[in-house]
Copies of this chain bind each other. A is one copy, B any other.
Amino acid sequence: MSPRAKARGGIDLGGTKIQTVIVGARSQVIGAARTETPHEGGPAAIAAAMADCLREAASGAGYETSELIGIGVGSPGEVDDRKGTVAGARNLSEWIEPYPLRNELKKALGAPVHIGNDVQVATTGEFELGAAKPYKSVLGVFWGTGVGGGIVLDGHDWLGRGAAGEIGHMVVKKGGAKCPCGNRGCMEAYAGRAAMEAEARRRHDKGEKTDLFKLMKHKGKDRLTSSVWGKALHHEDKLATDLLERAVDALGAGIASAVNLLDVEAVILGGGLGIRFGDELGPAIEKRMNESLFDHDNPPDFHVAALGDLGGAIGAALLAKS
């Protein structure tokens, strides 16, 4: 492939990390970079980090960002594609009011920018290019800092009035644990990385033993990243194991609820934790889902996202398809 062939950029903006890719005409990855999401400085600092990270990926692929035919962004929060703004991204620093992300990135990068919902573009990525290719009706479950859902029905994204797919805020235990969203008993209150970290701190402060925070410091992190959880699980850390089992239980129950309602052909598990623990915990999540299915004889297929860590960014690049 000549470095001057048509290329596109994709940016996956997460609560913990920013992942960027450069893809070629067949959506093959020709460059990639990642960085931590700044957790202070608000939208301007985050947009600057996104631009830097895409520049790095482009440079690796031998491109200037201004040569890209388009750049797609998968963002959390409320995306207004018409206005090019993102608002209410609660897992990001000071990002409540609408921020003109499209224009700021366009200015910084010199190419057209398209913005979509993070989990919906990741679901579309799996649907067009990944584990969901054989199906027409799919539920994507993105297990990371929060828990998001993407829905494809009969080959079309289902967005509702614009806010569909909040599988993380399905109630799996009425009156249960407080969720970062303020409600009680949401799936995310048990399974989201942020909620799991808060619960681990609470129990640690109360005197429960755990190596989670030692491992965190050892890795030079200031949050319990998926790799910290992975390390703790392999050390058979009791608190980490308990909280991951609790997450599996909530994910299985919530996914079963969604399947009982929608009866999709397949469930795709993605997201930072979903990819990291897909092999180890995916089968347990599927088993727990099966327990709560109404029709035990006809479960949906269950796959871990095939595009892996890059799936969100590759899916975002599809937004820029010419």
Using a CB–CB cutoff of 8 Å, the interface residues on chain A facing chain B are 137, 149, 151, 153, 158-167, 169-176, 181, 183-186, 249-250, 253-254, 256-258, 260-265, 291-295, 298
Contacts of A165 in B (CB 8 A): 261, 263
* 7 tightest Cβ-Cβ pairs between the two chains A and B: A160-B263, A170-B257, A164-B263, A169-B294, A166-B260, A171-B253, A174-B253
Q: How far is the CA of A279 from the CA of B161 in the complex (A)?
A: 27
Contacts of A172 in B (CB 8 A): 171-174
**CB contact under 8 A between A163 and B298, given known A153-B158, A253-B185:** yes
**CB contact under 8 A between A261 and B263, given known A161-B298, A292-B183, A294-B166:** no
Contacts of A262 in B (CB 8 A): 151, 158, 160, 164, 261-262
Contacts of A175 in B (CB 8 A): 249
Q: State which of B137, B258, B294 has its C-beta within 8 Å of the C-beta of A163.
A: B294
Contacts of A258 in B (CB 8 A): 261
A265 near B169 (CB under 8 angstroms)? Answer: no
Q: List 17 interface pairs A-B (beta carbons < 8 Å), by A numbering.
A: A151-B261, A151-B262, A160-B263, A160-B264, A161-B265, A161-B298, A163-B263, A163-B294, A164-B262, A167-B261, A170-B257, A171-B253, A171-B257, A173-B176, A257-B257, A261-B261, A262-B262
Given A161-B264, A166-B260, A166-B263, 12 other A-B residues pairs in contact with their CB atoms under 8 A:
A137-B160, A153-B158, A164-B263, A170-B170, A170-B260, A172-B172, A174-B250, A181-B294, A183-B291, A258-B261, A261-B262, A262-B262
- Closest B residue to A174 by beta carbon equals B253
Q: How far is the CA of A257 from the CA of B256 in the complex (A)?
A: 12
Q: Shortest CB–CB separation between residue A280 and chain B, in angstroms?
A: 21
Q: State which of B162, B291, B292 has its C-beta within 8 Å of the C-beta of A263.
A: B162
Contacts of A149 in B (CB 8 A): 261
Q: How far is the CA of A165 from the CA of B254 in the complex (A)?
A: 15
- Closest B residue to A167 by beta carbon equals B261
Q: How far is the CA of A186 from the CA of B253 in the complex (A)?
A: 10
Q: How far is the CA of A287 from the CA of B64 in the complex (A)?
A: 54
